Amino acid sequence: MTVSIRQFDDGAWIHVADSRAVGAGEVRRVTDHDFCPCTVGHVLVEAFVDVGVAGHDVRARVAGQCIDCGTDGVLDWLTFGRVDGGTFRPVSTDAVQQVG
């Protein structure tokens, strides 16, 4: 089954199967990253630069800013959810995620 995954509104949203799935404005906790000096960065998602799929995972590169140290830039690929039987299941913003 093919599920369409696109970015919308200049990167403000990821649409999965033509409905809004993930929006900018969330803070993602990331580790194993080179985005900023923080061991665990808290990156405010400002825009989705690129979206893609790896297996069932919906992944994106985002432009954002670490709310702890102020670094801004583009974060490497991060998983935002999974498509499971045609349903999008988001990764919790409480999760500490590895980047890349």
Asked if 99 is part of the footprint of Zn ion (rule: CB under 5 A), the reply reads no
Q: Is 28 exposed, middle or buried (0-12, 13-18, 19+ CB in 10 A)?
A: buried
* Residue 60 Cβ vs Zn ion, minimum distance, rounded to whole Å: 19
Count of positions on this chain that bind Zn ion (CB under 5 A)? 6
Single residue of 26, 46, 68, 72 touching Zn ion by CB under 5 A: 68
Among 66, 78, 83, 99, binds Zn ion (CB under 5 A): 66
Q: Which residue number, 52 or 67, has a Cβ lying nearer to Zn ion? A: 67
Residue 75 binds to Zn ion (criterion: CB under 5 A): no
